[in-house]
Chain A
């Protein structure tokens, strides 16, 4: 891998990788059983630099901001490199947000350029607020022939073959603005520097190295912090190959393992559990005799790898299982949400390593990850090299808020010094998660201090971001809470949101109101919906400016109601 200490910015490191491994394959884009594109590092450069030049011709300069809203595909990475080469700041936006939410983040980030897929662009042009889109250039990929883009430009045609000017940035300059929340409330645009990313890359690759010939299967969208680091920057600065799969369908993921002999893959708990379910089903279909043999082999593998993994031994013992994953898989990385220990243990017993990690966007992706020395299914591993973790305000059992200090911690929240100073205190990032560091230095998580949930798809949902949809509901007032915030439980799975309704005096919450509420709930993406409602017969405490005092209200509800009072929707 490159010695990243030599480089001041991501553009410079990526440029060096391209020059070092010009003939290695860096990127493959697959869609189902088809292979759409394949690039060597040289071809990748040839695809990206004409885009940089065209951007520069259009006034793109050092520090200009460019947003990308795309699904998981090769043009994401090509565009990102073009932006970094020109000294730009990348704003990755989740393509799964609604067009209105995307427009809000585009406005907040002040992105001058937008790179977007056609079907997403079409939705944006129909959204409320489209007229306020301020981007100077909109580049739309994969537009069908004969379509008029009304002011936007086809990405494929936006290029200039003249040499672009490489624009270096300093380590402390912003590389990306990544939104961790705030689509409905106060936008949290994490400003992550080149130093944040380069330091994170050094730390991660010291534990999980890449090299030319390694193939990383990318199924998470690259706007996802994990995929940006482990499925772009990490493999590229090591001369490895990224295989993008443009579908999440299990049958094509299985096919990609064997077709591309995958070495690493990142996933969220939901996908890992799906793989587990598929394997368990296949095991259940075995004849009793074969099942007995399999169970014995799993038992032998478990006993022999208790202290340390042994890849060669596990592959020899459980060859068929490993062959189903292509035979060259070294590890999965799972993160974005809490993974149940039983799932991690299931894979470890098969000799398939799952690097269970913990992190957040504000910390520059990863805070801790399992190092398998030895495997522990009950923890999220040890802090990355160079990352300090401490527990603040610990209770009698040593559980308190997890605080992090590292060169990977973001610089600040964009245009929000107040929220920045609440989140980064004396150089420590306050995560809002509750945990404990055990005697061996492993971090264990027990719940959250903050009012939010994380789904098994790795989506962070903040109540403030979804409350808008309930505006106009015929009740006196309402407020959304995470159920575990109202009634703390030591768990981070199955988290749910609850809508607290305060009826008008004498008002009966009838079927009409519930139907109204349900209809509004369905306007939200399925993973953002409230799972139940609670009727609360007291005025909400409010500030002088009439904002709901959420902490105080939560305390009142905690004292006056319990989980059983919540009516499921």
Chain B
């Protein structure tokens, strides 16, 4: 199947297990709504995993970026299993190592520090989107 490259699907860990999952989720929304609204669509991970043919078909035709909270990489594993290998994976726990002053604690409501980290992660996702689309921003 041909891969179409005018949009990138973002498959984010919707993680409830760790605060990093919440960061993944918020960072993905920042990319979709503020940083690259015209270039990205979200793929709802629960819907995708539940067997939605529309979500899975999209992920087969368009390139995808998995955004995972931790090294279990559930979004990457799920995408790989049902549609195809993501062109890139962003792992929040890896990005956090670059910003040791930013601590994450909450799985629910984000603090100012956690919001700052979410923005940093969103910027990394946006850079990956540009790479996938062959654009310089």
Whether A and B are associated in the same complex: the answer reads no
